[in-house]
A and B are shown apart, each in its own frame.
Chain A
Amino acid sequence: MLKTVVNAILGLGPAVFLPMLMLVIGLIIRMKLKKAFAAALTLGVAFLGMNVIIEFMFSAIGPASQAFVENTGLQLNALDLGWTPLASIAWAWPYAFLLFPLQIAINIVMLAFGWTNCLNVDMWNVWNKILTAVIVVGVTGSLPAAFVVAAIEVVFELKNADLTQKQIYKITGIPGIALPHSMALTAILLAPINRVLDFIPGLKNNNINAAKVKEKIGIFGENHVMGFIVGMLIAIFAKYDVKGILTLGVQSATALTLFPMVAKLFMQALAPISDAAGEFMKRRFPGREFYIGLDWPFLAGQPEIWVSLIILVPVILAMAVILPGNGVLPFGGILNICFAGAAIIVTGGDLIRMIILGVISTPLYLYVATSFAPMITDLAKSVGTIEIPAGQLITWNGLEAPGFRWIFAQAADVINGNFMGIVFLIGYLGICVWYYKYMSKREAEVIEELGLGA
């Protein structure tokens, strides 16, 4: 009986059931009916709005990317949409909202036992855990496994926030905050490489004025400009004529400009819930000193981030073409922000090292995006009303924590008798132990350097 009702509601499609769910949650957290209704409807608008742009994008770039594949012989069948459409697809997963209580409960327990000092009020990035869960379901077929891995991710994020808090303070100068974002988990894999770079002469104490460089090349970081360029490049390889090349350039610029504009509607709709959840958590621990965990953009004022990302664009394009087995056609995620968030912490904002780490880690991001493309495409098909052309896949180059996600998804597949992932997991946990010691030492150094000790 209950199952019939649930299925009937889910059968209405996410554009209808998401607002309904949101309205109920809004009333539970005691929003006024008028506001709860407006917020709920905004969520439906956000979801359908995103579908409209994705469809527009496929009608423009879909044929071009197929012509690209035919003309070049490169099997780049997985179109990289960037993160905003993926967030839309993830929120439409039927179990998505269960990740809110999961993250909040784990955080409260860890704070209560003193296992972390980070109070994460960033409820937006609950969607990172949703995406992880979706991927794990895709790999293992198991819902419980998905929630277990998502729970482990929450623990890793909070511990990592503890391990980087002082270093982030040194970079940003903002007191009292930490970064429990899953993108920072990539620091676990970048840190050993950064340590090796210590032994290369000439890489110490280089000082390049990144702000000056950013003034010169910053325009390439703007969504429409980057979309225009990448769109034209795809059209050129697809052997379009001049009119076709310019048209696809403007169409791509349109898609990449509109994606964040619509994605903003998700945040507008979710803001009251996220607010209420944050207040709820703060009330649990009155008077206790801890760091408030925030989303990553407080780092976005650092010019090194944008300079390194723009410089890495041609590297990503070249590697997408050269790397054997890569299936990703880089587009929406061509500015790999999730790499930069981790890299700036590991290198302490050293531009040259960030670029070197970026070149080294680009294959990781591309291969993981290739590997997860079928699961992401399946989810988009099952939740969305989006028509994805047959043979076409969608993905996100530069998804957060590619190492963590791939390894844990494979390891979780042990429930299906697949033991390969466990081997990777053991190696990964070994690196984690080293990382824990390395970062603890660096935190202590920053405390001494800035005189933060008691």
Chain B
Amino acid sequence: MKRIITACASGVATSQTVASKVKSLLEEKGIMADVEAVDIKSLDAYIKNCDVYISITPAGNSDYGIPVISGIPFLTGVGRDEALQQIIDIIKK
């Protein structure tokens, strides 16, 4: 199973909102994936085994060696379909 990771300041609210949203959108398309929300302060420890990082903090992203997608569209709704398609394209590879 492909692993998708999101992160916010505590791994509780915003990142979990995005994770739940992405997971249910993928399920609607019949795609099963692990979507996990973590604490951004501990991101380095979690990101190693993941396939995509959905970031809600456009500034200050280091090079993690995996694709990074903006999570903001999943919060605002603007550009959501495009962002979802990007994720699908990556995990279907």
Contacts and interface: CB of A to CB of B under 8 A. Distances in A.
Nearest to A218: B41
Given A176-B76, A177-B72, A223-B41, A294 B60 contact: no
A267 interface: yes
Given A267-B16, A268-B20, 11 more contacts: A222-B39, A222-B42, A264-B11, A264-B37, A267-B20, A275-B20, A296-B9, A297-B10, A297-B14, A300-B8, A301-B56
The 5 closest A-B pairs by CB, nearest first: A301-B57, A297-B8, A267-B16, A271-B20, A300-B9
Interface of B: 8-17, 20-21, 37, 39-42, 55-61, 72, 75-78
A364 to B, nearest CB: 21
A301 B12 contact: no
User: Dominant SS at the B interface?
Assistant: mixed
Interface string A256-297: 000011011011100110110010001000000000101111
Contacts of A260: 10-12, 39
Nearest to A84: B12
B60 A267 contact: no
Contacts of A303: 60
A321 B48 CA distance: 41
Contacts of A84: 10, 12
Contacts of A124: 13-14, 17
Nearest to B20: A271
Interface in A288-324: 292, 294-303, 306
Contact of B78 (A173, A272, A292): A292
Interface residue range, chain A:
35 or more
A306 B59 CA distance: 14
Nearest to A219: B41
B50 to A, nearest CB: 17
A301 to B, nearest CB: 2
A275 B40 contact: no
Contacts of A72: none
A211 interface: yes
Contact of B15 (A274, A294, A297): A297
A297 B13 contact: yes
A306 B41 CA distance: 9
A271 B39 contact: no
30 contacts: A121-B75, A121-B77, A124-B13, A125-B13, A172-B57, A173-B59, A223-B42, A260-B10, A261-B11, A264-B11, A266-B12, A268-B20, A271-B16, A271-B21, A275-B21, A278-B77, A282-B77, A292-B75, A294-B76, A295-B14, A295-B17, A296-B14, A297-B8, A297-B9, A297-B13, A297-B14, A300-B9, A302-B60, A303-B60, A337-B9
Given A173-B58, A174-B72, A301 B41 contact: no
A221 interface: yes
B23 to A, nearest CB: 10
Contact of A271 (B9, B17, B78): B17
A292 B42 contact: no
A297 B57 contact: yes
B40 A301 contact: yes
A219 to B, nearest CB: 9
A278 B74 CA distance: 12
A386 to B, nearest CB: 20
B82 to A, nearest CB: 15
B73 to A, nearest CB: 10
A306 B37 CA distance: 19
Contacts of B14: 124, 294-298
Contacts of A218: 41
Interface in A187-229: 211, 218, 221-223
A264 B14 CA distance: 10
Given A223-B42, A264-B37, A297 B76 contact: no
A3 to B, nearest CB: 35
Contacts of A297: 8-10, 13-15, 40, 56-57
A292 B79 CA distance: 13
A49 to B, nearest CB: 13
A425 B27 CA distance: 51
A267 B13 CA distance: 6
Contacts of B59: 172-173, 301-302
Interface string A64-85: 0000000000000000000010
Contacts of B16: 264, 267-268, 271
